[in-house]
Chains A and B, each alone.
Chain A
Amino acid sequence: GAGVSQTPSNKVTEKGKYVELRCDPISGHTALYWYRQSLGQGPEFLIYFQGTGAADDSGLPNDRFFAVRPEGSVSTLKIQRTERGDSAVYLCASSLDRDNEQFFGPGTRLTVL
């Protein structure tokens, strides 16, 4: 079946602009995670959804970052007033429920000029 998909695969924006990154989890997966990966480092947790609600948003770096999952399926990560330091690969993962292994998407590479 289809895996986790993320769009766009690449996004180039200018400093100060607003961006939205989309994640389509595996159908039926109730848990959804966002991570951010900088060059040469392991992924860092941002936020975790169980269903429609954000169960843990402790990894969001500041209030410019926000994520939603209104119908418990697709999720959107929103970044306001982007900064050059936001440049990274943003990864989405889903799991059948909170206890199962996480399946990752290919990521969105965000470049802020």
Chain B
Amino acid sequence: DAKTTQPTSMDCAEGRAANLPCNHSTISGNEYVYWYRQIHSQGPQYIIHGLKNNETNEMASLIITEDRKSSTLILPHATLRDTAVYYCIVRVYNAGNMLTFGGGTRLMVKP
């Protein structure tokens, strides 16, 4: 699987949008972009995934650049409960393989 690069940490004001970037410049054509988050002392939680089109669900939006070399996870109205480590992962779909976690971005939502 391709590697990803994320900032180590970010701050966001409560109620504002949190935009978390991820670089995956060596992504292959059959690799999807997945986002998970891990709140302190809990297991990781799936957020969203996509191939090349932008995706939105009840938790977040995923914006993938046209060349697929980078993406941004958007939490539209961050709350204190969104404070967590966010992991961007690229993974081949339909392969049943593992998730390869990097260091992630530690997002701190502040009042």
A-side residues, CB < 8 A to B, are 4, 31, 33, 35, 41-45, 48, 50, 55-56, 59, 91, 93, 98-99, 101-107
Contacts and interface: CB of A to CB of B under 8 A. Distances in A.
Contacts, number: 55
B49 A105 contact: no
Contacts of B97: 48, 56
B102 interface: yes
Contacts of B94: 98-99
A63 to B, nearest CB: 20
A48 B102 contact: no
Interface residues of B, number: 22
A11 to B, nearest CB: 16
Contacts of B43: 4, 91, 93, 104-107
Contact of A101 (B46, B98, B102, B103): B46
Interface of B: 34, 41-46, 49, 85, 87, 93-104
A38 to B, nearest CB: 11
Nearest to A100: B46
A99 B95 CA distance: 7
A4 to B, nearest CB: 7
Contacts of A50: 96
